[in-house]
């Protein structure tokens, strides 16, 4: 989690809320009278949104572009690059809507716009479900603007992010073993994740995450109902 303070804020979301943002973005597209032929979803965060936009806009042409920027929860890896190119001819001569879940610096979606445009696409427009005020790139369509910087935990990568976050707070906390209540305390202490927020967004999932961390050898049982970081 380099380049960020130890106590960066996190926000946990659920499927219903994200689905509503997909609906909002599609509404903007329709009001703008833009009729894309194909949706390009940036992998992995844009996949759910891309499929929803196809449904809302009546499209059946959906493709994916894998951009590499984040290597873990809130850990950046420099300039975004194309990892897996799109199939040949997938956007040629077509009007394109590029969708991602969030724009932080805006680098990924800006690079995707350049990449798609260079492949002889027609009109290319961009959209994000959420836009952080730190972004230097302004997409054409935005579901929600976030004025305060936060790491957004999406429902499709809840376990992935929570494994990283919990391991991180265990490393920073002045303790050897942790109960589930201890984990909740430190998530709030370091990342402002309140218990009620997590239970509303992702109810009863902390035991699942801790079990998965044990399976991945990130933590190990210290006693009944207690965990410690694995050696």
State the first-to-last Cα distance of the chain, in angstroms, to the nearest integer: 20
pLDDT in tens, 72-117: 555 555 677 888 788 888 999 999 999 999 999 999 999 999 999 9
Would you state the pLDDT for residue 73?
Answer: 55
Give per-residue burial for 94-125: e unless 16+ CB within 10 Å, then b: bebbbbbbbbbbbbbbbbbbebbeebebeebb
Q: Where are the domains of the chain?
A: 10-151, 157-229
40-57 average pLDDT score: 97
Q: Looking at the whole model, is its pTM more than 0.85?
A: yes
For the stretch 2-38, pLDDT in tens is: 345 568 999 999 999 999 999 999 999 999 999 999 9
Task: Give the rounded distance of the alpha carbon of 64 from its chain centre.
Answer: 15
Q: Mind listing the pLDDT tens digit for each residue in 148-158? A: 999 999 999 99
Task: Report yes or no: 213 and 167 within 8 Å, Cβ to Cβ.
Answer: yes
CATH architecture group of domain 157-229: Orthogonal Bundle (1.10)
Q: What's the pLDDT score for residue 2?
A: 36
- Report how far apart, in Å, the C-alpha atoms of 173 and of each of 166, 168, 169, 189, 228 are: 10, 9, 6, 10, 11
Distance, in Å, from the CA atom of 36 to the CA atom of 39, rounded to the nearest integer, reads 7
pLDDT at position 157 is 95
Q: Which CATH number fits domain 10-151: 3.40.50.2300, 1.10.10.10, 3.30.465.10, 3.40.50.2020?
A: 3.40.50.2020
State the pLDDT at residue 29.
Answer: 98
pLDDT at 47 exceeding the cut of 50? yes
Q: Is pLDDT larger for residue 79 or for residue 231?
A: 231
In whole angstroms, what is the distance from residue 109 CA to residue 85 CA?
14
Percent of the chain with pLDDT over 90: 85
- For the chain, the average pLDDT equals 92
Q: What are 175-198's pLDDT values in tens digits?
A: 999 999 999 999 999 999 999 999
């Amino acid at each position: 989690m380099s380049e960020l303070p130890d106590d960066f804020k996190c926000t946990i979301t659920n499927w219903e809320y994200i689905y509503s943002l997909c609906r909002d973005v599609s509404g903007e597209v329709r009001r703008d009278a833009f009729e894309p032929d194909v949706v390009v979803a940036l992998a992995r965060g844009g996949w759910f949104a891309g499929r929803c936009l196809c449904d809302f806009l009546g499209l059946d042409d959906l493709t994916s572009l894998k951009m590499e920027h984040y290597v873990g929860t809130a850990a950046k890896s420099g300039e975004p690059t194309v990892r897996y190119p799109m199939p040949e001819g997938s956007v040629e001569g077509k009007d394109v809507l590029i969708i991602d879940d969030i724009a932080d610096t805006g680098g990924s979606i800006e690079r995707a716009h350049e990449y798609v445009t260079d492949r002889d696409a027609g009109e290319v427009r961009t959209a994000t479900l959420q836009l952080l005020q730190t972004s230097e790139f302004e997409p054409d369509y935005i579901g929600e603007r976030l004025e305060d910087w936060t790491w957004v935990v999406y429902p499709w990568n809840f376990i992935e992010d929570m494994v990283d976050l919990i391991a991180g707070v265990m490393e920073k906390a002045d303790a050897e073993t942790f109960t589930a209540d201890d984990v909740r305390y430190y998530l709030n202490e370091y990342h402002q994740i309140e218990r009620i927020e997590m239970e509303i967004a992702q109810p009863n999932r902390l035991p699942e995450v801790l079990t998965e961390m044990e399976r991945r050898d990130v933590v190990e049982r210290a006693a009944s109902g207690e965990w410690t970081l694995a050696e």
